[in-house]
Copies of this chain bind each other. A is one copy, B any other.
């Protein structure tokens, strides 16, 4: 017997038929003798409808009232799933954030979970009851509903798994696991059976949109084992009820992964742009003069490359950012030109960042060299490079994106 938290997103609960399918997944685990808590999102489309109404009421609205309106979506799903489970003979009840309670910070609309009292839930597990919990919401210090921000249901699920000390947090979604790369780009992509938290964090933040980054961070801190699997598969298909080895991908501590591959996966993110400042005065405080004002305007700068100064007085600085932010960034830089002190500014959009990720590369030399050599052989020009302990990222023209992903997938033997 295990204790499992099961999380289902909006497309998995889009209508009553799909909710019934979700209930069959839950019933399977209950029938296998497990203790189960289920976390649900709003029915697909509902959150957008609710958000639309708040905007229509007033473009500048009180986040506390936004939360009152928007949290109703998950509330509805929790009640409907509880009803459906009961109709299948499963003992179930719904829980709202304020009932458990799930205590959050006061940052309405983007609250952080601070504390979950799992004692009531655990007591009810003992009575054989399934908890159906509205995701994405908790209760703030002002005793009002606070939402966690978009995609917050993954985070709810992990936090609840930590709160009730669950053996695993199963994230049911519209894909059946985490792949070595995007299967639409490289059909030879393989589903990973296990991936370490750190690797998943890099994959998630680099555009593999399977999981919310926040939820993986939280899982890593609390050592909650997450499992990505498909909600659209037949709940009673062979192997689905096998607790130790179901179809999907386990996200876990690296200690749990015995034979660590050097490279786990290739991620990419589109719509990158770069901005270069030429003949920048090479003096202390110049980086702060550039990136301070950009940050004040909420422009998210990613890779930063500074050349060594040739003459000791001037240098070049290049950084990347989302294409959509280029115009805003150029405006900021123009305004700060006097203060920063540079000659010309150049920009380029339509770039792609491709990343090679793997915990194993920590202990292996030459991983980066392999990538550079492969790119050179295919004639792909690398515009910028950044590396971390477990990741190598290169910036290239977007027309080479697929070729680069497939080439790297092959040279690191992920096929």
Contact = CB atoms under 8 A, between A and B. Distances in A.
Given A54-B80, A99-B143, A99-B144, A86 B61 contact: yes
Nearest to A82: B65
Interface in A51-75: 53-54, 56-58, 60-62, 64-69, 72-73, 75
B99 A83 contact: no
A16 B79 contact: no
A58 B76 contact: no
Contacts of A57: 16, 19-20, 80, 83-84, 87
> Helix, strand, loop or mixed for chain A's interface?
helix
Contact of A87 (B53, B60, B73, B80): B60
Interface string A246-260: 000000000000000
A146 to B, nearest CB: 13
A215 to B, nearest CB: 25
Contacts of A143: 99
A83 B96 contact: no
Given A98-B98, A99-B144, A58 B83 contact: yes
Given A57-B16, A72-B76, A76-B53, A83 B98 contact: no
A40 to B, nearest CB: 12
A104 to B, nearest CB: 16
B72 A75 contact: yes
Nearest to A54: B83
Interface residues of A, number: 38
A318 to B, nearest CB: 43
Which of A66, A72, A84 is the most central at the interface, judged by chain B CB atoms within 10 Å of its CB? Answer: A72
A79 B65 contact: yes
A62 B82 contact: yes
Contacts of A86: 58, 61-62, 65
Nearest to A52: B16
Which of A58, A61, A99, A145 is the most central at the interface, judged by chain B CB atoms within 10 Å of its CB? Answer: A58
Contacts of A73: 72
A121 to B, nearest CB: 14
Contacts of A68: 75-76, 78-79, 82, 94, 96
A13 to B, nearest CB: 11
A372 B164 CA distance: 74
Nearest to A64: B93
Contacts of A83: 54, 57-58, 61-62, 65-66, 69
A392 interface: no
Contacts of A16: 53, 56-57
A89 to B, nearest CB: 11
A62 B143 CA distance: 27
